[in-house]
């Protein structure tokens, strides 16, 4: 599996497995463990979770049950808005490590920009980094202005920014900015097909005629076309699925290559259409959505 090099010298598998809302959001049980273990058995070595997902215990159980050596895995988790701030971020990371059953995570992210807490949160993350509890530091849903502000005081620079990015929401200016300052872009909900929103499936990119025709041409799934579009442009993808066939298909991307014209065709599907929350104000609503206490 191809890996991407961070500017801090660490590497990350380009295709990861997302764990948000396996079953349901905050579900933390044997179904989650089985699904993550299925992904690990299929060859995934990059697993993305978060304190807010409420499933770190089940993810940790899958990691343990897999028997895969720790140094062959790349594990990401995140600090939620209600946990931001210096002392609370330190506490949040230690709690995540405890739930995961790990001594360190490979990547620790600020889940959403919360501007008044960013500096204190990042300074706590830098301390966690110096203590070896996190190997790399990154961001999620950060806008260009958020990143510019952070870079003014950060001693340890972010390596990664995880964005809502799919063919209907390409975020090209933000992607270009991230790349210009050495930040690797990752795509959450890369297929734009999650069942966590109320948007009809007919309005999602997996049902776009342009992508469907490419899937027919290459005899692959529409999901594989979209993931290949990202991978060929150097982005990280973290698709989630609960179907074993889709789990395996999403990591099987080496048997075909999209042409430059096809990449452009998919780029041109952009509608600047978010299916998820808007980072301009998400933190305000998130303060009323605490991390599960269990």
Catalytic residues: 53
Residue 109: φ, ψ to 5° = -120, 150
Q: Measuring CA to CA, which residue among 128, 177, 188, 156 is closest to residue 9?
A: 156
| DSSP states along 170-228 | --HHHHHHHHHTTPEEEEESTTS--TTS---GGGSGGG-HHHHHHHHHHTS-HHHHHHH
Q: With H, G, I as helix, E, B as strand and everything else as coil, classify residue 266.
A: helix
Cα angle vertex 288, ends 282, 294, to 5°?
Answer: 115
Pairing mode of beta strands 134-140, 105-110: parallel
C-alpha to C-alpha distance for 211 and 190, rounded to whole angstroms = 14
Q: Measuring CA to CA, which residue among 101, 19, 104 is closest to residue 63?
A: 101
Distances (CA, A) of 98 to 40, 104, 120, 130, 144: 21, 10, 23, 19, 33
C-alpha to C-alpha distance for 90 and 106, rounded to whole angstroms = 16
């Amino acid at each position: 599996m191809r890996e991407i090099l961070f500017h801090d010298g660490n590497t990350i598998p380009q295709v990861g497995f997302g764990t948000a809302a396996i079953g349901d959001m905050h579900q933390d049980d044997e179904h989650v463990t089985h699904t993550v273990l299925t992904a690990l058995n299929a060859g995934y070595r990059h697993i993305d979770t978060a304190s807010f997902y409420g499933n770190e215990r089940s993810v940790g159980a899958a990691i343990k049950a897999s028997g895969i050596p720790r140094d062959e895995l790349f594990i990401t988790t995140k600090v939620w808005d209600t946990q931001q701030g210096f002392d609370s971020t330190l506490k949040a990371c230690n709690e995540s490590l405890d739930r995961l059953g790990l001594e360190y995570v490979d990547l620790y992210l600020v889940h959403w920009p919360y501007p008044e807490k960013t500096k204190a949160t990042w300074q706590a993350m830098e301390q966690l980094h110096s203590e070896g509890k996190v190997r790399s530091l990154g961001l999620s849903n950060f806008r260009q202005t958020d990143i510019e502000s952070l870079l003014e005081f950060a001693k340890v620079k972010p390596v990664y920014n995880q964005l809502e990015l799919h063919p209907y929401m390409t975020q090209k200016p933000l992607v270009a900015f991230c790349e210009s300052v050495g930040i690797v872009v990752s795509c959450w909900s890369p297929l734009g097909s999650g069942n966590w929103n109320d948007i009809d499936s007919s309005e999602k990119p997996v049902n776009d005629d342009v992508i469907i025709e490419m899937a027919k041409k290459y005899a692959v799934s529409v999901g594989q076309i979209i993931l290949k579009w990202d991978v060929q442009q150097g982005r990280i993808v973290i698709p989630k699925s609960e179907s074993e066939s889709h789990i395996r298909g999403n990591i099987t991307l080496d048997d075909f290559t999209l042409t430059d014209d096809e990449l452009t065709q998919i780029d041109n599907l952009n509608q600047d259409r978010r299916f998820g929350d808007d980072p301009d104000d998400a933190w305000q609503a998130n303060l009323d959505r605490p991390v599960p206490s269990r």
